[in-house]
């Protein structure tokens, strides 16, 4: 059974803005998918629908085979860890510890389990020592880490992450990629950072109100039409490799990572 499924979902805001139009896709259990697209493409709206926070204007959204209706949403929300794009929408408790513990306490877990989960999530996100800090006094990147810790502490089988790496420093970004890569949960992450998408997922969905692409990163990097339409920019390493390929008339497949790029350079220049 699919972990997530959207059938012809459209969403119109109360002021008439059509944010999502006829979007269909399903995500298998344990699959990781990147949702990419320009500002205003509907990524956050779509994640909120999958999180059971908004309901489709038309079409249906399902979690693990159950339609996300107002009646079912409350129960299904427990299956989903949702990271808001803006951490200020997520963190609201008087201390960081209370904030990270909020979800686990709401799940009705015993105190010992709550403490273990909070400590573990805070360690994973590098915010040990912040327990007594006031969330609203933290820097944006620190707030983001607190919000991510709160989501990880839920240990939900499905994670919906809206721009998880935005505003993290390079080490924080690397740490988060490593954490997400180690998870076996189903993950849908909205991002403008294609290198994060390529490092973490085998599938990218490009959204621009409608779905304009659904395929592997390897296919996407060769689709300059889609990249241009969605205001996406390949990471500089890939732009360099693409230019080198054009300039030299070589025919190698585009590498997606630094390691693949080095291997390509070694192979393509051997014997020269």
Q: What is the C-alpha separation between 175 and 165, in angstroms, rounded? A: 10
Residue located via tokens 């205003």 = 40
Stretch that binds ligand ATP, among 14-22, 54-62, 101-109, 222-230 (CB under 6 A): 14-22
Residue 252 burial by CB count (10 A; 0-12/13-18/19+): exposed, middle or buried? middle
Stretch that binds Mg ion, among 25-33, 35-43, 119-127, 211-219 (CB under 5 A): 35-43
42 binds, among ligand ATP, Mg ion, none (CB under 5 to 8 A by kind): ligand ATP
Residue located via tokens 């889609």 = 226
Q: What is the C-alpha separation between 95 and 210, in angstroms, rounded? A: 40
Q: Which is nearer to Mg ion, 35 or 118 (CB)?
A: 35
The answer to whether 123 and 131 have CB atoms below 8 angstroms apart is no
Q: Does 191 bind Mg ion (CB under 5 A)?
A: no
Q: Which is nearer to Mg ion, 41 or 96 (CB)?
A: 41
Could you give the C-alpha distances from 72 to 11, 57, 79, in angstroms and in order? 19, 17, 12
41 binds, among ligand ATP, Mg ion, none (CB under 5 to 8 A by kind): ligand ATP
Q: Does 44 bind Mg ion (CB under 5 A)?
A: yes
The answer to whether 114 and 101 have CB atoms below 8 angstroms apart is yes
Q: Does 4 bind ligand ATP (CB under 6 A)?
A: no
Kindly identify the residues of this chain, within the stretch 157-196, that bind ligand ATP according to CB under 6 A.
Answer: none
Q: Which is nearer to ligand ATP, 127 or 160 (CB)?
A: 160
Kindly identify the residues of this chain, within the stretch 34-63, that bind ligand ATP according to CB under 6 A.
Answer: 37, 39-45
Kindly identify the residues of this chain, within the stretch 82-101, that bind ligand ATP according to CB under 6 A.
Answer: 85
- The pair phi, psi for residue 22, each rounded to 5°, is 50, 55
Q: Which is nearer to ligand ATP, 104 or 162 (CB)?
A: 162
Q: Which is nearer to ligand ATP, 84 or 198 (CB)?
A: 84
Q: Which long-range contacts (CB under 8 A, 24 or more apart) does 227-232 make?
A: 230/36, 230/37, 230/38, 230/41, 230/206, 231/37, 231/38, 231/39, 232/36, 232/37, 232/38, 232/192, 232/194, 232/206
The answer to whether 186 and 32 have CB atoms below 8 angstroms apart is yes
The residue count for binding Mg ion (CB under 5 A) is 3
Minimum distance, C-beta of residue 243 to ligand ATP, in the bound complex (Å): 27
Minimum distance, C-beta of residue 24 to ligand ATP, in the bound complex (Å): 17
Residue located via tokens 């497949």 = 253
Binding Mg ion by CB under 5 A: which of 3, 9, 61, 85? 85
184 binds, among Mg ion, ligand ATP, none (CB under 5 to 8 A by kind): none
Return residues touching ligand ATP (CB under 6 A): 13, 15, 17, 19, 37, 39-45, 85
Return residues touching Mg ion (CB under 5 A): 43-44, 85
């Amino acid at each position: 059974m699919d972990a997530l499924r959207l059938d012809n979902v459209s969403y119109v805001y109360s002021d008439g803005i059509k944010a999502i139009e006829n979007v269909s896709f399903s995500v298998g259990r344990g699959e990781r998918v990147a949702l990419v697209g320009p500002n205003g493409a509907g990524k956050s709206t779509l994640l909120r629908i999958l999180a059971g926070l908004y309901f489709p204007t038309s079409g249906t959204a399902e979690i693990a085979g159950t339609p996300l209706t107002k009646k079912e949403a409350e129960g299904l929300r427990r299956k989903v860890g949702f990271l808001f794009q803006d951490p200020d929408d997520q963190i609201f408790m008087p201390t960081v510890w209370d904030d990270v513990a909020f979800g686990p306490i709401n799940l009705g877990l015993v105190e010992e389990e709550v403490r273990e989960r909070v400590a573990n999530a805070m360690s994973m996100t590098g915010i040990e020592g912040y327990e007594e800090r006031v969330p609203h006094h933290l820097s944006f990147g620190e707030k983001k880490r607190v919000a991510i810790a709160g989501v990880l502490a839920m240990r939900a089988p499905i994670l919906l992450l809206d721009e998880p790496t935005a505003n993290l420093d390079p080490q924080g970004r690397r740490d988060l990629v490593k954490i997400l890569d180690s998870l076996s949960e189903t993950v849908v992450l909205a991002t403008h950072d294609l290198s994060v998408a390529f490092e973490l997922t085998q599938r990218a969905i490009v959204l621009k109100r409608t779905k304009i692409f659904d395929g592997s990163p390897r296919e996407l990097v060769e689709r300059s039409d889609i990249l241009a339409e969605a205001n996406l920019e390949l990471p500089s390493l890939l732009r360099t490799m693409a230019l080198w390929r054009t300039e030299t008339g070589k025919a190698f497949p585009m590498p997606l990572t630094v390691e693949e790029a080095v291997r390509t350079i070694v192979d393509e220049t051997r014997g020269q």
